[in-house]
């Protein structure tokens, strides 16, 4: 798992969008998701402001700063697995609009750049909030190679991402402005 997480971080850090980012909205992987901590630590070490999500009761996301390894705590939500969330200050749901890059979790992404999420709608709300704010950060999904598929189910609110990063490399779908 650590080897895969390190490979994912290496590939992601080659993205020009991340090389020039001042603020990155990211997440701490859970369960079988590709590991994100090496990437978060590398961004933090570069002086990038890293924002992590905090799940709200209505499945929307608040955001808090990632300050390194000891700045996240496990939070249990009902019968679901514990999420690692930032321990410090809450910045509000609109903090994500300050991000130059938004790293998104997912179950799969297809050849059109459409992301299949877990079904809770949290990141659909984030993407809608970015659109309402008129911001256009680079949208990047972090997945395993086998999770890049021909086609995922599409809903009217779905928005294509710019790229997917897997442990073996980067695939672009559209160029951010």
Question: Could you tell me which residues are annotated as the binding site for ATP?
Answer: 115-123
- In the 8-state DSSP scheme, what is residue 106? -
Binding-site members for substrate are 28, 33
Task: Please state the φ and ψ torsions of residue 138, each to the nearest 5 degrees.
Answer: -65, 130
Q: How far apart are CA 173 and CA 153, in angstroms?
A: 17
**Own/partner pairs, 67-75, CB within 8 angstroms, 24+ separation:** 68/41, 68/44, 69/37, 69/41, 72/28
The annotated binding site is made up of 28, 33, 115-123
Q: How far apart are CA 123 and CA 31, in angstroms?
A: 18
Cα(42)–Cα(85) distance, integer angstroms: 18
């Amino acid at each position: 798992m650590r080897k895969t997480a390190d490979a994912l971080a290496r590939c992601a850090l080659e993205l020009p969008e991340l090389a020039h980012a001042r603020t990155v909205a990211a997440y701490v992987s859970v369960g079988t998701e590709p590991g994100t901590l090496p990437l978060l630590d590398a961004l933090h070490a570069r002086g990038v402001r890293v924002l992590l999500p905090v799940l709200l009761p209505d499945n929307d996301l608040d955001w808090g700063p990632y300050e390194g390894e000891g700045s996240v705590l496990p939070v249990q939500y009902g019968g679901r697995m514990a999420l690692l969330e930032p321990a410090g200050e809450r910045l509000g749901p609109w903090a994500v609009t300050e991000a130059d890059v938004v790293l998104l979790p997912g179950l799969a992404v297809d050849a059109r750049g459409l992301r299949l999420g877990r079904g809770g709608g949290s990141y659909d709300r984030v993407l809608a909030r970015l659109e309402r704010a008129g911001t256009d950060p680079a949208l990047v999904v972090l997945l395993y190679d086998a999770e890049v598929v021909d086609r995922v189910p599409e809903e009217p609110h779905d928005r294509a991402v710019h790229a997917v990063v897997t442990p073996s490399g980067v695939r672009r779908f559209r160029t951010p402005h």
